[in-house]
Amino acid sequence: MAASPVRFVRFRPDEAIDVEELRRQRVLCGWGEEKVEFWRDQVRRGVKNLYWVFPSAANEPLPWFGFEPCNFDTARSGPPPPDLSFQPLGHVSLDWEDSDNDESLCDREAGKVTLATFFLLLSQQGKGYGSTVMKEMEEMAKRDLSATSITLNTVDGEFAVQPWWWERQGVPYSPTRRVNEKWYERLGYVAYKRGIPRYPGKTVSGEDILLEAVFMEKKV
């Protein structure tokens, strides 16, 4: 069996280096920086299994070239790593508690866990890490958590293909932009609830809005 190209390291909620890097990666993601303190509490309470994703083949840190693009504005560089010796590719979690309290996403007694806070640096995407992380998280959910199904939430694909949806946020629309929902479909996830206002955002005029999500599920 071929060795995995990634390894998982548990997030340490009371280590400054972990907290600072998590904040940085959520800024790069474009969503969730305001939830970092709540996620730290979830990890402490044992309802959020949050992991860093590192490349398994290298013990050396990733090279820092002075530019890491933001997800929603690839021409803009996000903040640099707070510590160049600690540079995970991204992070992902398996949760027994949804951060927005939607009970359809997780149910410990029923063996339904939700995969959340999944992010990979844009510079590291397209290398096969994403599908590997998903496969290994599914195995971890079965083996370590005795889960029978995994849910997740992502941007609703029916909105993500609409130019106006991006333009009202001041983000240029590109028809080549990957639609996350379609990617998860190829991995076997099926939408069961869509059009849910969930992700905080702003319009070009400064109005606060909630961007639409789709909920998906896969039996494991």
* Contact between residue 96 and residue 150 where contact means Cβ atoms under 8 Å apart: no
Q: Are 50 and 93 in contact (CB under 8 A)?
A: yes
Closest among 181, 195, 48, 178 to 122, alpha carbons compared: 178
Mean pLDDT of 118-122: 95
* Residue written as token pair 């909105």: 159
Comparing C-alpha atoms, which of 84, 26, 85 is closest to residue 50? 26
* Domain parsing of the chain, residue ranges: 6-219
DSSP assigned state of 13: T
pLDDT average, residue stretch 116-128 = 93
CATH no. of 6-219? 3.40.630.30
Q: How far, in Å, are 5, 78, 81 from residue 67 at the CA level?
A: 24, 7, 10
Q: How much is the mean pLDDT over the chain?
A: 93
Task: Kindly report, residue by residue over 177-207, the tens digit of the pLDDT.
Answer: 889 999 999 999 999 999 999 999 999 999 9
pTM reported for the whole predicted model: 0.92
**Model confidence over 128-182: pLDDT tens digits?**
999 999 999 999 999 999 999 999 999 999 999 999 999 999 988 889 888 999 9
- pLDDT band at residue 97 using 50, 70 and 90 as cut-offs: very high
pLDDT at 74: 82
The candidate with the shortest Cα–Cα distance to 52, out of 74, 19, 4, 80, is 19
